[in-house]
Amino acid sequence: MRETEATTDARRAMEVCNACRYCEGFCAVFPAMAMRREFSTGDLSYIANLCHNCKGCYYACQYAPPHPFNINVPQVLAQVRAETYEEYAWPAPLAGLFKRNGTIVSLATAAGIALTLLLTMALVDPSVLYQPQIGPGAFYRVIPWWLMVALAGGTSLFAVLALAIGFRNFWRDTGGRADEFRRAKPLAVALHDIFTLKNLGGGGGGCNDKDEGFSQLRRRFHHAMFYGFLLCFASTTTATFYDHIMGHPAPYPFWSLPVQLGTWGGVGMVVGTAGLIWVKIVSDPAPAARNLLGADYALLVLLFLAAATGLLLLALRDTGAMGVLLAVHLGVIFALFLVIPYSKMVHAVYRSAALLRHALERHPTPPGNKPSDRALGSAA
């Protein structure tokens, strides 16, 4: 990773924190910091992505502004984090999309909706588009199967590839090796930390969501959004299995598995994203990196739209509004897949990688089991 003003500021903050150590029990950042005397840009990239932006260390810090030391750990780590998103993005020429990200995400959403609507209107007879369509295959009468598969498959495969390459770039830059993934215990610890959002727990009291008071609100809203997203993904996977393996095309009855997974997932995402937007609006701006807020809001609104248009489509699928709603919903989903690798969404990949690196540091390979040790042993 490049040396920048943000990495210089973060290094200075870490050096002060390393001398102070008051926040050692707050989160994973401080134990990771305490294992180092010097901070390379790779170390700072790792530590910045380990931070869950709970703001606890800002309100606890005796050196926070207006103290002349001006220590604001959540803010400097957020700036470095944003730079890591650009640094590891693939393909590299698209890394610039992280700049003015709020505008980019909004434009991509509008373009996704407009393109899908225009394609639908061009390909489908108006008498079909505006008439109620019911029974198996109703969705394909509005948007042809081949178009749905081409757009969904193309955009989702691109997103998975770009995120996987970003993960590899992060792992290499922070000193990781490929053979470390084989270790079960650190992997299990990291998965536990990821799925419980342990670092937003603040040691049990929660984080400083809005101000110096402690609460679990952000963690709960994030859980609602995250698990809602996973349920929606499970719904799509199940529907694909029903359609392509079992030969039962959508739409499915309300009490069927794909619809139930999608409904509860959609509700979770709507509640979670709306709650997170509200927390951002009412929270104290002092520890926040204000230049990054536009990207945060844009992604939350896009996720909210993805879930809300899906629920609206479910509610009105037997009416003449289904055709237009289906095109709008799919437009939002395609836009979401396209912008995922160039939006705040990448934090899920880098934060998970940082948690895995932290678990590996806490559970080091026993002496004699390292690949280098085994090579020496066989040579002897």
145 binds ligand SF4 (CB under 6 A): no
DSSP lists the bridge partners of residue 207 as: 215
**Which amino acid, one-letter code, is at 193?**
D
- Least distance in angstroms from the C-beta of 179 to ligand SF4: 29
**x/- string (CB under 6 A) for ligand SF4, residues 173-202?**
--------------------------x---
- Rank residues 77 and 239 by Cβ distance to ligand SF4 and give the closer one: 77
108 Cβ contact list (under 8 Å, min separation 6): 335, 338, 339
- Least distance in angstroms from the C-beta of 129 to ligand SF4: 49
- Least distance in angstroms from the C-beta of 17 to ligand SF4: 3
**Angle CA 102–104–108, to nearest 5:** 120
- Least distance in angstroms from the C-beta of 73 to ligand SF4: 5
80-117 burial: b if 16+ Cβ within 10 Å, else e: bbbbbbbbbbbeeeebebbeebbebbbebbeebbeebb
Number of residues that bind ligand SF4 (CB under 6 A): 24
Query: What is the three-class DSSP state of 123?
Result: helix
**x/- string (CB under 6 A) for ligand SF4, residues 9-28?**
-------xx--xxxx--xx-
- Least distance in angstroms from the C-beta of 220 to ligand SF4: 17
Q: Would you give the distance in Å from CA 351 to the centre of its chain?
A: 9
Query: What is the three-class DSSP state of 207?
Result: strand
- Rank residues 240 and 283 by Cβ distance to ligand SF4 and give the closer one: 283
- Least distance in angstroms from the C-beta of 98 to ligand SF4: 21
Q: Which of 1, 6, 10, 29 binds ligand SF4 (CB under 6 A)?
A: 29
Give the relative orientation of helices 5-20 and 73-87 as an angle to the nearest 10 degrees: 140
- Rank residues 200 and 313 by Cβ distance to ligand SF4 and give the closer one: 200
In 3-state terms the chain splits into helix, strand, coil percentages (rounded to 5) of: 70, 0, 25
- Rank residues 68 and 366 by Cβ distance to ligand SF4 and give the closer one: 68
Site for ligand SF4 in 66-125 (CB under 6 A): 71, 73-74
Site for ligand SF4 in 319-348 (CB under 6 A): none
Q: Please return the burial class of 122, using the count of CB atoms within 10 Å of its CB with bins 0-12, 13-18 and 19+.
A: exposed
**x/- string (CB under 6 A) for ligand SF4, residues 44-73?**
-------xxxxxxx--xxxx-------x-x
With CA atoms as reference, report the closest residue to 299 among 263, 262, 330, 272.
272
- Least distance in angstroms from the C-beta of 11 to ligand SF4: 13
Q: How many residues does the chain have?
A: 380
What residues make contact with ligand SF4 under the rule CB under 6 A?
Answer: 16-17, 20-23, 26-27, 29, 51-57, 60-63, 71, 73-74, 199
